[in-house]
Amino acid sequence: MGLRERITADTKDAMKAKDSARLSTLRLISAAIKDREIAARGEGGDEAGLSDADLTAILSKMVKQRQESAKAYEEGGRLELAEREQAEITVIQGYLPRQLDAEETQAAIDAVVSDLGASTIRDMGRVMAELRERHAGQMDFGAVGPMVKDRLMA
Residue 116 sits in a domain whose CATH number is: 1.10.10.410
Contact 59, 137 (CB under 8 A): yes
Whether residue 24 contacts residue 61, with contact meaning beta carbons closer than 8 Å, is answered with no
Same domain for 8 and 83, yes or no, is yes
Range of the domain at 27: 3-94
Nearest to 106 by CA among 45, 50, 150: 150
Whether the model clears a pTM of 0.85, i.e. scores above it, the answer is: no
CATH number at residue 31: 1.10.1510.10
Going residue by residue through the chain, which has 154 residues, state the pLDDT in tens, using 9 for 90 and above: 688 899 999 999 999 999 999 999 999 999 999 999 888 887 765 556 778 878 888 998 899 899 999 999 999 999 999 999 999 999 998 998 888 888 999 999 999 999 988 888 998 999 999 998 888 778 878 889 899 998 888 7
